[in-house]
Amino acid sequence: MSWGGRNRILTFTPLYRLMAAYVYYTTLFLVLLFDVFIFRLRVIGRGRLARLPKQGAFLVSNHSLYFDPGVVAHAIAPRRTLFSALESTVQATPFLGNFIRFLGAFPIPERLSLVRLARPVREALARGWLVHFFPERDLKHQSRVLQPFHPGVFFLAQLFGVPVVPVTLATRHPRLLGRRVARAYVRVTAVIGKPIDPGRFFLPGVPRREALARMASHTRQVMQRTLWQYGDSATDGLADAQPAEGLA
């Protein structure tokens, strides 16, 4: 999987997949050690992945750790996912860019249209792969309040008729006398939520823009409650957030 010139975004070849698998599983072993001994990662809901449809699915996560992709890769193992990444990040240096691609990232130009992105995503879904997006787009380190979600992944979910699976990464800090201590030392819990069917939102008579907004808002609220349930609680914000009306 790699860039294939102007006309293609992803290229699937046997040699590239073999090299990518070697790099991926070697790196995953190191990630497992890091997650176990540093993050003390706990995974909840992994069994839900086994019940996903054969045509693949989208994963969405909050973007709150510098090592988010590694944590997600560990949480869903032995399954693999393709990760979306901004082209500027992947092309920062040739070595880093190739390494990120081998790990399953595909670069997205900031001005890339969803129409052009749809073709390679459809090919990946047809192979039964999982495709991951950070709907917040920008990283906000250890944030306890989710940023607004961009609608792109929900548009693609409706276009291809596949579910969106929320993977919430919750962090919890040790406390002393009720106060958080050691900001750099956190316990991470990855919660794989129930698949969200786009068909619940894209109904006859409902404008597409409204359906996209409702699905994005509902997914964000589900993940926000999960974030506060398993991680540090927010002192303000949307603590009483509820799913979109009629979708609880």
The CATH number of whichever domain residue 139 belongs to comes to 3.40.1130.10
**So what's the pLDDT on residue 86?**
72
Domain membership of residue 19 (yes or no) is yes
Domain membership of residue 5 (yes or no) is no
Domain membership of residue 3 (yes or no) is no
- pTM exceeding the 0.85 threshold for the entire prediction: no
Domains contained in the chain, number: 1
Domain membership of residue 49 (yes or no) is yes
Domain membership of residue 178 (yes or no) is yes
Mean of pLDDT values over 42-68 = 89
Could you give the C-alpha distances from 29 to 6, 36, 142, in angstroms and in order? Answer: 35, 11, 24
Domain membership of residue 235 (yes or no) is no
Task: Look at residue 235 and tell me whether its pLDDT is greater than 70.
Answer: no
**So what's the pLDDT on residue 94?**
67
Domain membership of residue 248 (yes or no) is no
Mean of pLDDT values over 111-118 = 72
| Residue 82, domain extent | 14-230
pLDDT tens figures, 155-193: 999 999 999 999 999 988 776 666 666 555 788 999 999
Domain membership of residue 176 (yes or no) is yes
